[in-house]
Amino acid sequence: MNKSNLLGAEQWHQIIEGQRSSGLTVAAYCRDRGIKDSAFYAWKRRLRSPAKQNRTPKPAFVEVKSPKTPTAEAIEIFLRGERRLRAWRGFDRDLLIELVRTLEATA
């Protein structure tokens, strides 16, 4: 059995950190310590983000539903510059008047 199979996660963490600070290539560092390069890279991947291994994958698509707008109860106001305003039942009349005046003044 080779040395790579006997080491635990904490020891691999120390080995990986040791290689980073050594200035040696992974191949040279592993050769000096009798460790297989493939084991080094496998543990490096495993220790990089343990949270990723436990996470459930995100769905590829998420359904988006547009809000239902009762067009029969809406009024549409066409302004200069191809701008439009829509207002639904219950809108604030004074606010709408102020908004139309402001938008028409800036066109």
Q: What's the rounded Cα separation, in Å, for the pair 85 and 99? A: 9
Residue with tokens 């106001």: 77
What is the pTM for the complete model shown?
0.43
pLDDT band at 24 (very low <50, low <70, confident <90, very high): very high
Confidence at residue 90, expressed as pLDDT on a 0 to 100 scale: 81
Give me the pLDDT at residue 60, please: 57
**What is the residue extent of each domain of the chain?**
3-54, 71-106
Closest listed residue to residue 12, CA positions, set 58, 50, 65: 50
Give the whole-angstrom CA distance, residue 28 versus residue 8: 21
Task: Work out the average pLDDT over 95-104.
Answer: 83
- pLDDT, one tens digit per residue, over 37-95 is 999 999 888 888 655 555 666 555 556 565 665 555 788 888 777 778 888 878 888 88
Compute the average pLDDT of residues 21-37: 92
Rounded to whole angstroms, the Cα distance separating 69 from 86 reads 10
Contact 35, 4 (CB under 8 A): yes
